[in-house]
Structure 1
Amino acid sequence: MTRELFDQALIEEATKKSGLVWVRGAGAPAARALWHVWHGGAVCLVGDGPGEQPLTGLADGGSAEVTVRSKDKGGRLVSWPATVSELAPGSAGWEAAVAELKGKRLNAPDAEAMPQRWSRECRVLRLVPAGAPAPLPEDNLAARPVPTPATTRQPVPAALPRLLTRRRRKK
């Protein structure tokens, strides 16, 4: 097996099995975790619309770096360069990608009308592998999370632990 075929198989299998990929577009300050599907030899993404993931730094004809994590341990498996292309709404490629993406979209408020909303308000991108995977880094590359409007849960009310540990009264 040649090295190119091995690299292609590694990228495809790791990306298919991962629920998230970390993508850093050209000029973006940091990578973002994005949900995706592997379809037709590329990562397909949808976003930049209301209620959808941001696709910061990803432009049609641009480049990106994709890092795939392990589904069970969450560690880095492989990083690879990609070329970005935006699919035109209604095209055959767009329809095929959206059919795959629709099945993977969790918690959609409008499951049946989602493709129409995506065609009006969102972008569908393909990230095609464009070279050999990058070697794994020597250090851990830990970085602060990217700022987001998402919030964590509120503090536990003070009375909750007492309510949970209170025993039932015997009759």
Structure 2
Amino acid sequence: MTSESLDQALLDLALVEEATKKSGLIWVRGAGAPAARALWHAWHEGAAHLVGDGPGEQPLPGLTDGSEAEVTVRSKDKGGRLVSWTAKVVQLAPDSEDWAAAVAELKGKRLNAPDGEAMPERWSRECRVLRLEPTGATAPLPEGSLAQAPAPSPATTRQPVPAGLPRLLLKKRGRR
């Protein structure tokens, strides 16, 4: 490996780490999954950690121990894609030190947990904790939108404006 390629690999790894640390969500597509899913995570000891596949937790389709996953990281402030990278998926055993360290990080990031301090025990019984380890170089960013068409639904967001609304809005402006 030349010094230029080593420098590029280190820069790529630094970009992956910094972007993933700062992003609240990462888009992950596991082996055989039709599309990437937005997943919350915690960056700890050089890898992204996820918890899921249990009641009330995020689903982790296509992410199995030893497989690879494609991770796309977005900008927290602008929402645009920053970097895509390939990860090796490692499932952490609930009784290991790595699992305990990862869960300590994940616990602080989990919002609206129904069980508070009992969350780690529930995760050890009912969920999987995965470590997504960067494999090296970054991947080229995908072209175009990766958005999927919404599922067919009778729901609508557009409705006629109620007849009295303009009068109510004008009345409030007059009081100021």
Question: What TM-score does the superposition give when structure 1 sets the normalisation length?
Answer: 0.85
Distance 1:28 1:156, change over 3 A: farther
- Aligned letter for 1:142? L
Who is 2:147 aligned against? 143
* Consecutive aligned runs of 4 or more in structure 1 exceeding 6 Å deviation: none
Q: How many residues align structurally?
A: 166
Shift of 1:143: 2.8
- Comparing both structures, which one devotes a greater share of its residues to helix? 2
8 Å Cα contact 2:93-2:99 kept in structure 1: yes
Who is 2:78 aligned against? 73
- Aligned letter for 2:25? L
- Cα distance in structure 2, aligned partners of 1:57 and 1:129: 17
Who is 1:104 aligned against? 109
**Which of 14, 24, 27 is the matching residue for 2:19?**
14
The CA RMSD over aligned residues, in Å, is: 2.8
Who is 2:3 aligned against? none
**Which of 19, 25, 39 is the matching residue for 2:30?**
25
8 Å Cα contact 1:86-1:123 kept in structure 2: yes
- Cα distance in structure 1, aligned partners of 2:59 and 2:23: 19
Shift of 1:131: 2.3
- Aligned letter for 2:147? A
Structure 1: stretches of 5+ with no match in the other structure? none
- Cα distance in structure 2, aligned partners of 1:107 and 1:5: 37
Shift of 1:160: 9.6
Shift of 1:135: 1.6
Structure 2: stretches of 5+ with no match in the other structure? 1-5
- Cα distance in structure 2, aligned partners of 1:146 and 1:29: 15
Question: What TM-score does the superposition give when structure 2 sets the normalisation length?
Answer: 0.83
Distance 1:152 1:123, change over 3 A: farther
8 Å Cα contact 2:47-2:133 kept in structure 1: yes
- Cα distance in structure 2, aligned partners of 1:17 and 1:7: 16
Shift of 1:146: 7.5
- Cα distance in structure 1, aligned partners of 2:125 and 2:113: 16
- Aligned letter for 1:140? G
Distance 1:142 1:117, change over 3 A: same
